[in-house]
Amino acid sequence: MIAFDTGLIAYADRYLLARAVSKDYANSLRARVASFCRWAGDDVPIHVVNCELANEWLAELAEGGMSAWSLSGYRGALLAVWKDAYQAGDNTCPPLRVRKITKPRLVVEAYTHTEIRKLLAYAARLTNRHRDGNRASDFWQAAIHVAYCCGPRRGDLLAVEWRHVSPAGVLVFVQHKTNYQAMAKLSADAMKFAKRLKGSGKLLPWPYYDDWFSRKFSRIRDGAGITRGSFKWVRRSAGSYAEREERGSGAKLLGHRDESVFRRFYEDTNITGGEPIEPPPLGP
């Protein structure tokens, strides 16, 4: 029996409240569930969500040109809340016949050393200050150097505190997404620019909304004359260049317990030096 009749958006909030998730994940899930409700024309009651509605929605998103990777995220968000409602008895339709999404294998790309040096050179020319008084040039040079040294995710990068750094520059922190410990050595440049930043005990104090970070970086990328990539590519660079030095180091640096995750999503083989396989020549 249906325990109560509540809207899907409210149910999504209830679902998130019961789980320790990142702010980015929570915002993403809410936005994707809201997309389903807008498509349906109202805040859909949780008990009326069914396979037919879900499949029609996903089909229209696909026909509208949404990528398979994005489509998979929208599907996953709706399923997460729907499965929770089904297990709680607040929805009686099992989410079993939902349209499958085939995601193409990624060709992984990372920034080269030349591109990272261009980013740093442009960041060094910034003249503005952040609203906390820190120079933007110091912040972004520190952020790029730290990201290249240890390859943290953005959330971890902005959460790391000076207490996680030894006097010798060894950084040890627990990754929020995986709960695995990561360890890396900060370079002299990373330490130099980070020490210029004041306030809050954070290694990289960021006084704005988290999602502004990517927007600001995009401006730096464009200003540096680079036409590809995002800040995540610096993480890929860190892992790929570490892997080039010693096999297995890429996954270790990025904190992956399963090396296949590094191979699928972070290894740029143009950097690691993977050689193509060739059969012997046919001969005359």
pLDDT tops 60 at residue 175 = yes
71 vs 74: CA distance, rounded Å: 5
Range scoring the smallest mean pLDDT among 4-13, 125-134, 230-239? 4-13
Q: DSSP labels for 117-182? A: HHHHHHHHT---B-TTS-BHHHHHHHHHHHHHHH---HHHHHH-BGGGB-TT-EEEEE-TTT--EE
Alpha-carbon gap, residue 233 to 61, rounded angstroms: 27
Domains of the chain with bracketed CATH: 8-88 (1.10.150), 113-272 (1.10.443.10)
For the stretch 212-224, pLDDT in tens is: 999 999 999 999 9
Q: How confident is the model at residue 236 (pLDDT cuts 50, 70, 90)?
A: very high
pLDDT at 4 over 80: no
